[in-house]
Structure 1
Amino acid sequence: MTRTLLHKPTLTGKLVELRPFDEEAINAMLEILTEPDVLKRTGTVDSTDQAQRGNPLSEEKTRAWYATRHEQTDRIDLAIYSFALQRYIGEVVLNDYDADKCSLNFRIAIGKRGQGSGHGTEATKLIVDYAFDYLDIDRIELEVFELNERARHVYTSVGFVETGRIKNSFTFDGTSYDAITKAVTRDNRHVPHQLTLAAA
């Protein structure tokens, strides 16, 4: 890789900035992970009752998880900061590096305050461009539940194309949903974003 996954960049767009996790970002994620809709769409819980109870992991375990993100050598976790809202609104993750396929997995989670304003689309474009421009990566893959229409639209707009389905991958309130697998490559990604890296 041109840069390793140990390097946690700061990526600046017009709407958002992706930043390494700090205490403020961790506190924001603790709040976001209590939102029932986030827990449902990420497959963290499997019923409305569980979603209403919030994050199944304790605050202590969740805080410890995010506090060690900057130490990880096999993944990049960045917090999404909204300029308009002047607050952290979610996270993006690149993980599951596959050296044989030169690929990474991608996921994103955004709380209700940051939804519907283009934040997710720009955050996805920023991290996809970073992976292709600064890492030795040819392909980025993801899984998204069919019920998560908002996320599916974002991924398509960035250039992810459907590669398959995993039938009945997730059950919520007794209803089963497929997981859709999607991928974007150097050849079929969107027109590159104007990526700005903060000084190291």
Structure 2
Amino acid sequence: MIELRKITHDNFEAVLKLSITDEQKGNVDSSIYSLARAYVRILNDEKPPMIFAICHHDEVIGYVDMGFYKQAESSFLREKYGDKSTYGINRFMIDVKHQGKGFGKQAMMKVIDYIMSFPQGKADAVSLSYWLVNEAARKLYASVGFIETGAIWDGQTGGNWNAERKDIEYAEVGARLGL
């Protein structure tokens, strides 16, 4: 059974030890980085990030980092879909030892269920992004209802993506699930 659990003293070390394949290392940040970013957000009085260990029974098999975001008037999601606020999935990963077992989809469904409880306020959608070359992420997110928004940008600089570029591995794609 898949569960989202708070990161505590009991599971902290297991979260830090999560790993991915060498090929995936450019696709998702480490759990250490995610926890450090969460700390910075808290110190800067932002809404507290929602970071959970993903557990299968009592074993930590992944983590998820989510946030609640008000959309600016000029934001892509607001202009295209009318979204005034969204829950963003900033990072999601399943440990290499547990990939290919269906845990990613089960965990993502738990994440969506949690978000639908609106823990930090009502929102119009869930948004996320992934690297264009990350076919596994594309399939996973589509399998639980995410639809690509048509937004694509330079994942390193955040600038507009030029479709003629050859370094496609730096293209980041937006996806959305309406609530």
Alignment of 1:34-113 (within 5 A): 36-42=22-28, 44=29, 65=36, 73-83=47-57, 86-98=58-70, 101-106=84-89, 107-113=91-97
1:141 matched to 2:152? The reply is no
Amino acid at match of 1:29: V
2:140 matches 1:166 = no
TM-score (norm 2): 0.69
C-alpha RMSD of matched pairs (Å): 3.2
Seen in structure 2, the aligned counterparts of structure 1 residues 137 and 37 have a Cα distance that, compared at 3 Å, is same
Q: Which residue of 2 aligns with 1:157?
A: 143
Query: Where in structure 1 do 4 or more consecutive aligned residues deviate above 6 Å?
Result: none
Q: Which runs of 5+ in 2 are unaligned?
A: 73-83, 157-165
The higher relative CO (CA closer than 8 Å, separation ≥ 6) is in 1
Q: Percent identity?
A: 25
Q: Which residue of 2 aligns with 1:21?
A: 7
Q: TM-score, normalised by structure 1?
A: 0.63
CA distance in 1, matches of 2:136, 2:71: 31
Which of 74, 79, 99 lines up with 1:115 in the alignment?
99
Question: Any unmatched runs of 5+ in structure 1?
Answer: 1-14, 45-54, 187-200
1:18–1:80 Cα contact (<8 Å) kept: yes
How far apart are 1:125 and its partner, in Å? 1.0
How many pairs align? Answer: 152
